[in-house]
Amino acid sequence: MKPDCIIVGSGVIGCGTALELASTGAKVSLLERGEAGQESSWAGGGILYPLLPWDYAGAVNHLVQRSIALFPTWAEELQAASGIDPEYRRCGMLVLPPFSTPKARAWCDTHATRLEMSGARKIIPELAADEEALWLPDVAQARNPRLLKALRRRLEQLGVEISGHAEVTGWKNDGARITGVETSRGVLNAGRYIVTSGAWSRQLLGKHALNLDIRPIRGQMLLFKTKPGALPAIILKNGVYLIPRRDGHVLAGSTLEDVGFDKSTTEEAKTMLYTQATGILPLLKQAPLVRHWAGLRPGSPDNIPTIDRHPQLENLYISSGHFRYGVTMAPASAEIMANLILGRPQAIDITPYRWPGGNHHAVGANSFAKERHGQGSPVGE
């Protein structure tokens, strides 16, 4: 039987969207070019927060705020149903200087976010220097590879067909609708098609991308192994962060490199990350360095993703361009997409996530038109 939806790309955005739709009883098929969940969503750090939210536009923060409100239940239900622990936990984040205290305070006051000024070593005794720091106790994290495993198991339980090594190579359309996708397994059909192909979304859409501006931005990461509990919280200094996992692994990241579809690692980035990480937390000098990897983020202007129906093709949708915060934004992005497809009201204003470059076709816009005008808060702070 033909599925209701074909979703192209099985990162956290594709899997999250599939979960939301399958939970409503939709028949969903997920197509993945390689192995499920092995690209950016695997490579990321899993901090569930913008690094410095006061540096971002309202459009980023509104989506993030909605997502972090959904995350605890999302993670809990996933764990209960799948039996796999995504290691969601509120460990807090300590921001070391330089930072702007007035900006941080103003943002936290407006967003009802707890913020404390603290001596850095009061929170993390092992730090190299005891500076005045910003402490954000509610910042949470998840362990990406485990989150992806839990999502995959849950999707299988819900009957979602996940096809690995099924690359989508082209689109068939009759002018107003997509009629099929060309894949390495032949032409496949569904009622609707959702592109969640991360950094590859624009290339995959070809001429249908219109003005979509999504491109790969490489991020490199180092992994240390320390004793469990050696680092109690996330640390951020000068754009470099350290993330402690429960079992003692510590991730140090990351770079932001505009180098096209090149996922290789470099000695230069390794040296930079190692120097910064050990400079912040000297105990890492004694910790084995166990891995160095790179992933390609779906980069977008101002970090604002596109979550929308195509302006002209009424059954083509996209959720992509989540750039640095795709894991954080996954539950709210999935919610928006399901609401769009099912004609349900939106929890936040979705205008900022519209497809750039075209007027929306009138056909099939009934439930869509309602959402264009949005409910919820206006954009901009």
Ligand X SMILES: Cc1cc2nc3c(=O)[nH]c(=O)nc-3n(C[C@H](O)[C@H](O)[C@H](O)COP(=O)(O)OP(=O)(O)OC[C@H]3O[C@@H](n4cnc5c(N)ncnc54)[C@H](O)[C@@H]3O)c2cc1C
Q: Does residue 307 interact with ligand X by CB under 6 A?
A: no
Binding of residue 325 to ligand X (CB under 6 A): yes
What's the min distance (Å) between Cβ of 365 and ligand X?
A: 26
- Shortest CA distance to 280 belongs to which of 242, 314, 251? 242
Cis check for the bond before 356: say yes or no (omega within 30 of 0).
no
Interface stretch with ligand X, choices 34-42, 83-91, 265-273, 368-376 (CB under 6 A): 34-42
**Alpha carbons 151 and 33: distance in angstroms, whole number:** 18
Token representation of residue 260: 């096209």
Q: Does 149 contact ligand X by CB under 6 A? A: no
Which stretch in 6-14, 125-133, 273-281, 373-381 sits in contact with ligand X by CB under 6 A? Answer: 6-14
Say whether residue 193 binds ligand X (CB under 6 A): no
Shortest distance, CB of residue 309 to ligand X, whole angstroms? 18
Q: Which span sits near ligand X by CB under 6 A: 84-92, 116-124, 170-178, 321-329?
A: 321-329
- Output 188 or 204, the one with its CB closest to ligand X: 204
**From the CB of 102, what's the least distance to ligand X, in Å?**
26
Q: Rounded distance, CA 75 to CA 134, Å?
A: 27
Q: Beta strand 5-8 with 28-31: parallel, antiparallel or unpaired?
A: parallel
Cα-only R_g, the chain: 21
Judged by beta carbon, residue 197 or residue 276, the one nearer ligand X is 197
| C-beta separation of 171 from 315 below 8 A | no
Task: Count CB neighbours of 263 within 10 A.
Answer: 18
Size of the site for ligand X (CB under 6 A): 42
Site string for ligand X, 237-256 (x = CB under 6 A): ----------------xx--
From the list 3, 216, 244, 298, which residue makes contact with ligand X (rule: CB under 6 A)?
Answer: 298
| 308 makes contact with ligand X (CB under 6 A) | no
Query: Closest by alpha carbon to 355, among 314, 296, 325?
Result: 314
Measured between alpha carbons, how far is 271 from 258 in angstroms, rounded to an integer? 19
Reduced to 3 states, what is the DSSP secondary structure of residue 148?
A: helix
Q: Which of 24, 34, 227, 358 binds ligand X (CB under 6 A)?
A: 34
Q: Which is nearer to ligand X, 244 or 298 (CB)?
A: 298
One of 40, 226, 278, 346 touching ligand X (CB under 6 A) = 40
> 77, 346 in Cβ contact below 8 A?
no
> Is residue 278 near ligand X by the rule CB under 6 A?
no
Select from 3, 86, 219, 299 the one that contacts ligand X (CB under 6 A): 219
Choose one: 37-45, 103-111, 269-277, 358-366; the region binding ligand X (CB under 6 A): 37-45
- Per the CB < 8 A criterion, the answer to whether 216 and 203 are in contact is no
Within residues 42-71, the interface with ligand X by CB under 6 A covers: 43-47
Q: Per-residue b/e over 211-248, b at no fewer than 16 CB within 10 Å?
A: ebebbbbbbbbbbbbbeeebbebbbbbeebbbbbbeee
Contact in structure between 68 and 46 (CB atoms under 8 Å): no
Judged by beta carbon, residue 162 or residue 168, the one nearer ligand X is 168
Cα dist. 304→68, 245, 352 in Å? 16, 28, 8
Closer residue to ligand X in complex, CB, 131/161: 161
Q: Is 306 in the site for ligand X (CB under 6 A)?
A: no
**How many CB atoms are closer than 10 A to CB 77?**
14
Nearer to ligand X, 137 or 364 (CB): 137
Question: Nearest distance from residue 12's CB to ligand X, in Å?
Answer: 5
Binding site for ligand X (CB under 6 A): 8-14, 31-34, 39-41, 43-47, 167-168, 196-200, 204, 219, 221, 253-254, 295, 297-298, 320, 322-328
